[in-house]
Structure 1
């Protein structure tokens, strides 16, 4: 179970480090080809989302790795479930039906929550 956690959480963390970093350093015009929804949110909200994604990725890795507050790992994964649930809602209300990635990330985060409770 421990190895499965590190594989799933590691991949999830890598994705969110990448996505969060893009949201922090790129302009709206640079993000638009990848993320059609960026015009519906303010830049401060977009930057905050990137920060949340980076902090969540850190929460998946550092607590179990250091043994300090390991209960933060399932909380971080649960936060990603909530984040992706909101992302699905944003996509659907904007008329964007491309939610397969969001559904996959929601499922992966939910599995991570389950694996993290067994650490």
Structure 2
């Protein structure tokens, strides 16, 4: 179980690191990536930077605490924060009628919920 949680946290951290590029990529360039990125036009540049910062913090919170052996409670808290982020992403996709592109967000939501459950669960706070 611990190996599965580590792999899942690593995948989520990688996804969040890529997603944190919102902090550095201009809004128009981000929206030009494809039809599934048009949502970026509905947010202000500062809101996109804030979302990117949340994703960066989540990536760090999923990996660094157990690797460094400090404050391991940050892992399930970071995963719970990601659950909330992806619930918002799913809600936004549904509101925009983007049912075809919602699969990724639902997958990441399930992975984040798995990490939160696994790290808050009976074997919580172990490497």
TM-score, reference length from structure 1: 0.93
8 Å CA contact 1:4–1:115 kept in 2: the answer is no
Q: Any conservation in 1 of the 2:86–2:106 contact (CA below 8 Å)?
A: yes
Aligned length: 118
* Residue 100 (structure 1) aligned with residue 111 (structure 2): no
Preserved CA contact (<8 Å) 1:28 1:43: yes
Q: Give 5+ residue unaligned stretches, structure 2.
A: none
For structure 1, list consecutive stretches of 5 or more residues without a partner in the other structure: none
Give me the CA root mean square deviation: 1.1
Structure 2 partner of 1:85: 87
Deviation at 1:64, TM superposition (A): 1.2
Matched, 1:23 2:22: yes
More divergent stretch after superposition (28-37 vs 53-62): 28-37
Report the alpha carbon displacement of residue 95 of structure 1 after superposing the two structures with TM. Answer: 2.4
Q: Segments of 4+ in structure 1 off by > 6 A?
A: none
Q: For each residue in 1:54-85, what CA deviation from the matched residue of structure 2 results, as whole angstroms up to 9, or x when unmatched?
A: 00110001111112110110010011011000
Report which structure shows greater RCO (CA 8 Å, sep ≥6): 1
SS of 2:72's partner is: coil
Partner of 1:50: 52
Q: Aligned-pair distance for 1:11?
A: 0.8
C-alpha separation in 2, matches of 1:7 and 1:60: 11
Q: Say whether the 8 Å CA contact 2:28–2:41 is kept in structure 1.
A: no
